[in-house]
Amino acid sequence: MKFFIDTANLDQIKEANDLGILDGVTTNPSLMAKEGIKGQEAVFNHYKTICEMVNGDISAEVIATEFNAIVEEGKKLAAIHKNIVVKVPMIKDGVKAIKWFTDNGIRTNCTLVFSAGQAILAAKAGAAYISPFIGRIDDSGWDGMLLIEQLSHIFQVQGYTSEILAASIRSPNHIIRCAEAGADVVTSPLESILGLLKHPLTDIGLAKFLEDAKKSA
């Protein structure tokens, strides 16, 4: 399972990248706004900086919601760097645009996916990545992990080549369960990635080893 970080914060991207386990980055307009990045030029420059920092796929989301406008914006985003993957929302014009991008050699990430039906449409259109939002499904009283399991099964049975990119991750346990359920990629905030490191018995064990090492020093 590949690890992407879900942020536009350069310090956090650097920290995850320095760990040596980072395979890519996902962003969205909310994450850009959180970093105070305003205007198309600043947003495009920010994507360029991220592409220069991380050797992996970088999802850059379109703001447009109408087919021709999505295509025009997506072409500009794809021209920023070879690793840009154009993130397109799961709407009717979005599906149409994903098919256009697929036919024209531009890779896409279909975002805001909440059901198997939506994921099947995105896979048929040729999306490179499909992003089910598991945390937001949990927030609405359903079980987001069931969708990952269902997609993993459907994609295997049907031989779909799109990668299941589990998004809206809220905890280290989400990451572990995504690995178990067969997600191809998980995109996570830094906190949940670092949470995987933690175990009290590791801390207790290390303290004891270091204490004992002093005795034989």
Residues making contact with ligand G3P (CB under 6 A):
6, 26, 28, 133, 135-136, 167-168, 187
Residue 186 three-state SS = strand
Check: CB of residue 110 under 8 Å from CB of residue 88.
Answer: yes
* Annotation says 87 is catalytic: yes
Tokens linked to 18: 């320095």
Is the Cβ of residue 140 or residue 216 nearer to ligand G3P in the bound state?
140
Whether 187 and 169 have beta carbons less than 8 Å apart is answered as: yes
Identify whether the C-beta of residue 190 lies closer than 8 Å to the C-beta of residue 12: yes
Nearest-approach distance from CB 206 to ligand G3P, in angstroms: 32
What is the nearest approach in angstroms of ligand G3P to the Cβ of residue 200? Answer: 27
Instruction: Tell me the backbone φ, ψ of residue 124, rounded to 5 degrees.
Output: -60, -35
Min separation Cβ 204 and ligand G3P, Å = 32
Output the smallest distance, CB 169 to ligand G3P, in A: 7
* Beta-strand runs (E) in 127-206: 129-132, 163-166, 185-188
Measured between alpha carbons, how far is 82 from 177 in angstroms, rounded to an integer? 31
Task: Mark out the alpha helices in the chain (DSSP H runs).
Answer: 10-19, 29-34, 40-53, 67-78, 92-103, 116-125, 134-139, 144-158, 172-181, 190-195, 200-215
Instruction: Name the active-site residue from 87, 96, 208, 214.
Output: 87
CA distances from 99 to 17, 123, 185 (A): 32, 10, 22
In the complex, the smallest distance separating the C-beta of residue 108 from ligand G3P, rounded to whole angstroms, is: 14
Largest CA distance in the chain: 71
**Tokens at 217, concatenated:** 């020093």
Q: Which residues are catalytic?
A: 87
